[in-house]
Copies of this chain bind each other. A is one copy, B any other.
Amino acid sequence: MALYVLVLGSAAGGGFPQWNCGCRNCAAVRAKVSGLLPRTQDSVAVSADRRRWFLLNASPDIGKQIRDNPQLWPRSLRDSPISGVVLTNGDLDHVLGLLHLRESQPLSVYATARVRSGLERNVFLRTLQRFDGQLRWQTLELERTCELQTAAGVPCGVHVTPVAVPGKPPLHLAADCEPALEDNVALRVRTTSSGVLTYASAVADAKAALPQLQGSAALLMDGTFWSEAELPDMGIAMGPARSMAHQPVGGPEGSLAALNKIDAARRIYTHLNNTNPMLDPDSAQYERVVSAGWEVARDGLKLTVE
């Protein structure tokens, strides 16, 4: 049984273009310059049967993502093929979409205890808890494989193993929250007979995470920034990539070098920030990545992991 994968969104927080950004990339994509594709914020849908889907992260752009993917459309009066959501961290660009999945639809939500406790500090969440059984929390434990289930407890043939990778707590919790292993996980996803999809869209240190990423039929990897000083170099008053817990792709210290010999049949960068030059297929950086055997994710990309 294969694992079916839809890349719903391939941009980092803010999307591409970003609402308040007039950088070269954003201006070009608004002007519909050829080759540059708009991208919504990072989220992936997985399924073993193509009837019941689980989202890996719930992006603020989930409305558009559902509209653009008929696999996720309802088949009856009140219905959704979306059975649940698996969260990899508590960043707003990964969790805000949960609050779109209201309208009394039962939902399984998988998260580490840490990520869940951050979410529960928001009274907005009650909109998903209007009746018993609407929101079924399920705890992700590091290194422990679980088979994803619907809110009604029906197993769906998708097996997930959360593994800790270097990251950080979400910005809005940084003030009163010491970093912990459970802040940020990658997911190893498979059916009983498929290869492994490794979804690792936030990784602060690829070399340290390497054992967690090995042996993948497909790897969706953090490609947020090309360079360490990408934002300050453009005149944007933000810190370096590492201050946001994203290792850049390029350079001798980048993830492309660190993952040079990784065992992964398909290697795909995703979670691309609007400023990343890799977004332009005419750029030298895009060429560098592709000639090293990597792909650059785009919204709508479909994978079948056999």
User: A19 touching B103 by the CB < 8 A rule?
Assistant: yes
Partner of A77, one of B61, B100, B124, B235: B235
* Cβ-based interface call for A18 (8 A): yes
Contact segment of A22-30, A45-53, A108-116: A22-30
Q: Which residues of B contact A74 (CB under 8 A)?
A: 19-22, 26
Do A66 and B19 form a contact, CB below 8 Å, given A77-B234, A123-B122? Answer: yes
Which residue of A74, A234, A238 has the most chain B CB atoms within 10 A of its CB atom? A74
A200 to B177: give the CA distance in the assembly, Å. Answer: 41
A82 to B2: give the CA distance in the assembly, Å. Answer: 46
Q: Which residues of B contact A63 (CB under 8 A)?
A: 15, 19, 40, 60-61, 64
User: B124 touching A124 by the CB < 8 A rule?
Assistant: yes
Nearest chain B residue, comparing its CB with the CB of A100: B60
* Cβ-based interface call for A102 (8 A): yes
A105 to B20: give the CA distance in the assembly, Å. Answer: 7
* Cβ-based interface call for A144 (8 A): no
In the complex, how many angstroms separate the beta carbon of A95 from the nearest chain B beta carbon? 9
* Cβ-based interface call for A118 (8 A): yes
Q: Which residues of B contact A60 (CB under 8 A)?
A: 60, 63, 99-100
Q: Which residues of B contact A75 (CB under 8 A)?
A: 22
User: A123 touching B126 by the CB < 8 A rule?
Assistant: no
A125 to B123: give the CA distance in the assembly, Å. Answer: 11
A67 to B76: give the CA distance in the assembly, Å. Answer: 31
A9 to B64: give the CA distance in the assembly, Å. Answer: 14
User: B126 touching A77 by the CB < 8 A rule?
Assistant: no
* Cβ-based interface call for A237 (8 A): yes
Q: Which residues of B contact A173 (CB under 8 A)?
A: 123, 126
Which residue of A22, A26, A173, A237 has the most chain B CB atoms within 10 A of its CB atom? A22
Q: Which residues of A, 76-102, contact B by the 8 Å Cβ criterion?
A: 76-80, 82, 92, 96, 99-102
Q: A252-264: contact bitstring with B at CB < 8 Å (1 yes, 0 no)?
A: 0000000000000
Between A and B, 11 residue pairs with Cβ closer than 8 Å are A19-B62, A19-B63, A22-B77, A30-B70, A30-B73, A60-B60, A92-B124, A104-B237, A104-B238, A121-B122, A121-B123
Binding site for B on A (CB under 8 A): 13-15, 17-23, 26, 30, 38, 40, 60-64, 66-67, 70, 72-80, 82, 92, 96, 99-105, 118, 121-127, 130, 171-173, 175, 234-238
6 more CB-based (< 8 A) A-B contacts, given A60-B99, A77-B235, A123-B172: A19-B62, A19-B103, A20-B80, A22-B78, A60-B100, A104-B237
Report the 5 A-B pairs with minimum CB-CB distance, sorted nearest first: A126-B172, A122-B122, A22-B74, A121-B123, A20-B80
